[in-house]
Amino acid sequence: MAETSQLSPGLTDEKARVGAPSDEEKVAIDGFTEEGENLSPLNTGTEQHGARRHSHGDEPVVPEASRGERLKSYRLADFAPLTGREEDWRFTPLKRLRGLHSEPLSGQAPAVTVTGASNIQVETVGRDDARFGCAAVPEDRVSAAAWEAVTAATVITIPEETVADCEVTVSVRGTDSAAAAQHIIIDARRFSRAVVVLDHQGSAVLSQNVEILVGDGAELTVVSVQEWDDDAVHVSSQQAKIGRDARFKHVVVSLGGDLVRLTPSSFFTAPGAEVEMYGLYFADAGQHLEQRLLVDHAVPNCKSRVTYKGALQGQGAHTVWVGDVLIRKEAEGTDTYEVNRNLVLTDGARSDSVPNLEIETGQIEGAGHASATGRFDDEHLFYLMARGIDEKTARRLVVRGFLNEVIQQIKVPVLEERLTEAVERELAAGNL
């Protein structure tokens, strides 16, 4: 269950794209090339049922030359309508987006309530507020659509040199199933410290932009929990702009919803900063949980660590993890490592994992990535059962342990407890 690679700095004088398709192994699976092309059978233009092999030679996907060159724009019109063939949408079943990519986002956005710390500021501001766009620029059509559609934003400010007196909970409660847009700005000023939890529940069809500013020397943790109802569709761009010597921790927990697609990005803007990005997802039958992240090392001497772990059970459970790490020419002294692990618990589930590492300088501390997707291992089961533990308990022990590594990172006891219980419920529901 392991496929890992490690790049040593000495070997990377030239620009390298690890994770780019190789010709070494040709796997003939219908609807599936080395790049995992045409993965969503619901997308237009793909036909992959039946014995016929699909054709995608006439409209090939042309990936951008570098992840850093992807189109960024506040204008919806700059992005072409989606077909499902785009590099960054090829795993997403567009028809299940319920109009987020094609309809006006005029529905009622989920209600936002901010509770917790008393020494922070919470405002609702209009479009003309200067902080719109302070940290993010949309990188895809759905994000740009939300950018154009919103009329207001919730702004959470942790003032300079302030340590939030407890965690901040941003409760997002959806009740409407019309496609809607939402904007949240988290502004952690210089030398501030805080934990902000975005807690998504209820039912919604939502395109969301979350802008995160991490000021110089600030320490910010943002936890995004998706415990939506079964019918919810949630697409969220969460971009963080990270200042000098800042510490940023981002945790994604996706458990509920029909389709959840998060694109968390960390942009380093000054040296000395450190980023940790964690993710936990548990997909049940029919659920599509996708996460595509970017760590953009554009300045020297920054450090990033990415750990995403997922479990899947049931027919049609699908998870996607794409981890892009970009080390630009200027980013000497970069230290980065990303890892994704998936545990496939039953037949009929599918997990895609694509680590990409793009390196434009050899003068780095280290860069590596690892990805492994494995089935529940019979030898683990035998070992535990040979010690008297029944099969059900043994399976739970392993899955719980597997996911716990990420839950432990949240460090908000109440939330950790709640998520541990949620994972237990998933395990119970899957009859594992």
> Binding residues for another protein, per CB under 8 A?
377-380, 382-391, 393-394, 397-398, 400-405
What is the phi/psi pair of residue 16, to 5°? -125, 145
Q: Which one, 34 or 391, has the nearer CB to another protein?
A: 391
Measured from the Cβ of residue 109, the count of other Cβ atoms closer than 10 Å reads 24
| Dihedral (Cα; 29, 35, 36, 42), 10-degree rounding | -120
| Residue carrying the six token digits 């392993």 | 398
Rounded (10°) angle between helices 413-429 and 391-407: 150
Measured from the Cβ of residue 5, the count of other Cβ atoms closer than 10 Å reads 12
As a whole number of angstroms, the distance between CA 159 and CA 161 comes to: 6
| Minimum CB distance to another protein, residue 378 (Å) | 7
Q: Which one, 50 or 388, has the nearer CB to another protein?
A: 388
Q: Give the three-state DSSP class for 342.
A: strand
Structure tokens at 6: 């490690």
| Minimum CB distance to another protein, residue 122 (Å) | 38
| Minimum CB distance to another protein, residue 390 (Å) | 5
| Minimum CB distance to another protein, residue 7 (Å) | 23
Nearest to 408 by CA among 286, 292, 309: 309
Q: Which one, 209 or 340, has the nearer CB to another protein?
A: 340
CB burial of residue 90 (10 Å; 0-12, 13-18, 19+): buried
| Minimum CB distance to another protein, residue 3 (Å) | 16
As a whole number of angstroms, the distance between CA 321 and CA 192 comes to: 31
Measured from the Cβ of residue 186, the count of other Cβ atoms closer than 10 Å reads 25
> Is the distance from CB of 286 to CB of 255 less than 8 angstroms?
no
What is the phi/psi pair of residue 399, to 5°? -65, -45
> Is the distance from CB of 206 to CB of 176 less than 8 angstroms?
no
| Minimum CB distance to another protein, residue 404 (Å) | 6
As a whole number of angstroms, the distance between CA 257 and CA 228 comes to: 5
Nearest to 188 by CA among 224, 164, 154: 164
| Minimum CB distance to another protein, residue 357 (Å) | 24
| Minimum CB distance to another protein, residue 401 (Å) | 3
Q: Which one, 6 or 315, has the nearer CB to another protein?
A: 6
Number of separate helices (H) and strands (E) present in the chain: 4, 20
Report which residue type is found at 216. Answer: D
| Minimum CB distance to another protein, residue 256 (Å) | 23
